[in-house]
Amino acid sequence: MATVIVIGAGLGGMSAAYELKAELGKQHEVILINDKPDFEFTPSNPWIAVQWRERKETSIPIEPHVKKKGIRFIHAALTELQPAAQQLTLSDGQTLRYDFLAICTGPALAFDEVTGAGPESGGTTSVCTLSHAEECRHSVSALVDEPGPVIVGAMPGASCFGPAYEYAFILDRHLRDKKVRKNVPMTFVTSEPYIGHLGLNGVGDSKGMLESELRMRDVQWICNARTVAAQDGQMTVEELDDEGNIKRTHTLPYKHAMMLPAFVGIAPLRGIEGLVNPRGFVIVDEHQRNPAFPQIYAAGVCIAIAPSHKTPVPTGVPKTGYMIEAMVRTLSHNIKAELSGQPPVTKAVWNAICLADMGGHRCRLRRHAADPAAQRRLVQERKVGPSGQDRLREVLPAQDAGGGYRAHLRKTDAQIPRHRQDRMTPQTRPSPGLLLAALRGKTGLSIMFQDVAAGGAGFTLPAASAIIRASYQ
């Protein structure tokens, strides 16, 4: 019996544990390690900050769900990894050996690279973690009570720009609902060379669309922004030209600031030669395997992906839920192959598909990794109908959900009987990309599973926080 360890239980780690157990069965042991006892659905954090969701709606305890599938869970943090010896040490003192290791830790947050930034220093707020979003909520409440200037954006080296735009639009909507938006000047400050760059050199007409959305909400912006400091209610920002020279320096006052930081690899991995790059991200090949230590695979935000081009202020490449699912499936198939004595042959295609809540409507961004120039897609869906409800109809193409099913995300108002919810199985659960789409839908969304072999017959599940509970039971 081989031991396969998964470190990290976010979207990538949870999916990896389930995929690996489904692939390997009872013949091999799968261990899931996480520094928190709960799975937290990070994409919902902007909603937490404005009280549109509560912790219990976006997180679930890990152990009771994975235990049902025969996955051993350890609540502890990684403190040391010895890849040559194929062993690791945890914060509870345990030392474990592994035959294969899947690193899905996510990143560490590099707030320290900007003076005063981050919740701990107090200069800016964050929605990078559930706890950060709950702290951010206090700052938002204070803003409503005493309106003042707001800054939202991303700092040098950031790679996850989508949540910054989302937060700006969501906060704008929240302040309008509270009847104080007219007293809150907003500025979007980003390291991107232009609005809508997103770390991908744009997706379709993301530049024009996002600029238009910001203008409609009376949000000013500064691009090529090198944030230097955020202290005592003032942010110092150096705006660079296309050659990387300082064009002007801004001193911006703020009552509330939410700035996404750059990411780095987690501390126990940094400096391990051959495993990680200088920023601490895990180096992987086309099979999601580390070239220096072939027993180690990795997926998610923790892996190294080089930017496609240089920007005046450093920007990283985002790793979306849809992309992470592709990585996870690749590593699970390849680990199974290796345990069967076969070489790894499965390769991940890193397509980027993102859904964004824009405070009053939604958009979908799609970029195909195989042909980015020819296959970029952008779809925008605005509020429709007298009720003001958002409609979201098949925002993703039909997806292979396993077990002979295809999955579609649809708008529906129907209540789904509990016995049909119980038909959810690991083989028919939606991918994290679809879960992301479902969980972020505010009203009346569902996932429909279509049985291809039965000529289209299928069943439907409500797309609410219950969907992720069902899928991980």
Distance CA 396, CA 388 (A): 22
Residue with tokens 């979201």: 392
305 neighbors 286 (Cβ within 8 angstroms) = no
Strand order in the sheet with 78-82: 78-82, 87-90, 95-97
219 neighbors 172 (Cβ within 8 angstroms) = yes
Distance CA 115, CA 252 (A): 15
Which of 104, 136, 354, 363 does the annotation list as catalytic? 354
pTM given for the model: 0.79
Average pLDDT, the chain: 81
Q: Per-block average pLDDT, block size 10, for the chain (473 residues)?
A: 96 95 95 97 94 93 95 98 98 97 97 97 96 97 98 96 94 96 98 94 85 94 98 97 96 98 97 97 97 97 91 92 89 97 90 71 51 40 32 34 38 34 37 37 36 36 32 29
Instruction: Give residues with Cβ within 8 angstroms of 471, minimum separation 6.
Output: 424, 426, 429, 430, 435
Which of 128, 160, 223, 302 does the annotation list as catalytic? 160
Half-sphere exposure of 234 (CA within 13 A, CB side): 5
pLDDT in the model for residue 125: 97
SS (H, E, C) 148-169: CCEEEEECCCCCCCHHHHHHHH
Interior angle at CA 30, CA 28 and CA 36, nearest 5: 170
For 117-134, the pLDDT digits (tens) are 999 999 999 999 999 999
Known catalytic membership, residue 363:
no
Query: Alpha-carbon Rg of the chain, whole angstroms?
Result: 22
For 181-238, the pLDDT digits (tens) are 999 999 999 999 999 999 988 877 889 989 999 999 999 999 999 999 999 999 999 9
Distance CA 90, CA 73 (A): 13
Distance CA 9, CA 386 (A): 41
Q: Encoding tokens for residue 214?
A: 């910001």
